[in-house]
């Protein structure tokens, strides 16, 4: 119990001095927003301060935002109330999470990796629902993301985790690209639940 409280305290501390901002959503979501219907239900999983949740709510979705950091969720909830946005927050330890089946038209996950949660994520989507997923992969390049390989996808792993579903978009940048839209050491996918 003490270990769990310590873990949650670390996450709360991470967000204690941060504020909600008008940052753009995850690239996988913004560059594929033409796939959105702008209505229905959406889940922002491991939402942090909720940039993806804010984007989805502003486009017309009823959003559930889940994270383990109560401090971040409080800031997101207050911001949503002040700006009349349909965002419901839930403080959940994702390592113990059970997502509700057939509940969401859209699920977004950015910069969070828990391999054993993929089955739950797809079950939480309604048939035909879309998963937008972007996180770190391969080697840590120039300090981008976690150094521990446990928290990084292996090359091609994201494709295999979504293999039972329709792949609408996939991108995995290695360590050799340059330019404004370069995502060295990242992988992203849009998959449709079958």
Residue 16 lies in a domain: no
**For residue 12, is it within any domain?**
no
Q: What is the CATH number of the domain that holds 79?
A: 3.40.50.150
Q: 96 in a domain, yes or no? A: yes
> Nearest-CA neighbor of 34 among 140, 148, 151, 130?
130
Decide if 3 is inside a domain: no
- Asked if residue 7 belongs to a domain, the reply is no
From residue 130, give the alpha-carbon distance in Å to each of 47, 152, 157. 17, 22, 18
The residue among 140 and 57 whose pLDDT is bigger is 57
Question: 81 lies in a domain?
Answer: yes
Q: What is the mean pLDDT of residues 123-130?
A: 97
Residue 34 reports pLDDT greater than 90 = yes
Give the number of domains in the chain.
Answer: 1
Asked whether residue 14 is assigned to any structural domain, the reply reads: no
One-character DSSP codes across 121-174: HHHHEEEEEEEEEEEEBSS--TT-S-SSGGGSBPTTHHHHHTTTSEEEEEEEE-
* Residue that the structure tokens 């909720």 belong to: 50
- 67-110: pLDDT as tens digits: 999 999 999 999 999 999 999 999 999 988 889 999 999 999 99
> Is there a domain that residue 15 lies in?
no
* Predicted TM-score (pTM) of this structure: 0.88
Sheet holding 186-192, edge to edge: 87-91, 62-67, 41-45, 104-110, 125-136, 186-192, 166-173
DSSP letter for 116, please.
Answer: G
More confident residue, 38 or 17: 38
Mean local confidence (pLDDT), 113-140: 91
What is the domain extent for residue 97?
A: 22-192
């Amino acid at each position: 119990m003490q270990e769990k409280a310590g873990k949650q305290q670390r996450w709360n501390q991470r967000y204690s001095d941060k504020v909600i901002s008008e940052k753009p959503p995850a690239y996988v979501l913004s560059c594929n927003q033409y796939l959105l219907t702008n209505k229905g239900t959406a889940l922002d999983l491991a939402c942090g301060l909720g940039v993806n949740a804010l984007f989805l709510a502003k486009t017309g979705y009823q959003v559930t935002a889940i994270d383990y950091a109560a401090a971040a969720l409080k800031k997101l909830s207050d911001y949503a109330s002040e700006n009349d946005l349909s965002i419901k927050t839930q403080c959940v330890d994702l390592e113990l999470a059970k997502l509700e089946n057939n509940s969401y038209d859209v699920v977004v996950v950015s910069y969070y990796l828990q391999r054993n949660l993929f089955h739950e994520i797809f079950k939480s989507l309604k048939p035909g629902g879309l998963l937008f997923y972007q996180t770190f992969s391969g080697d840590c390049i120039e300090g981008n993301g976690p150094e521990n390989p446990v928290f990084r996808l292996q090359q091609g792993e994201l494709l295999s985790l979504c293999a039972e579903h329709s792949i609408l978009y996939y991108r995995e940048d290695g360590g050799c690209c340059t330019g404004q839209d370069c995502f060295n050491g990242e992988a992203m996918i849009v998959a449709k639940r079958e």
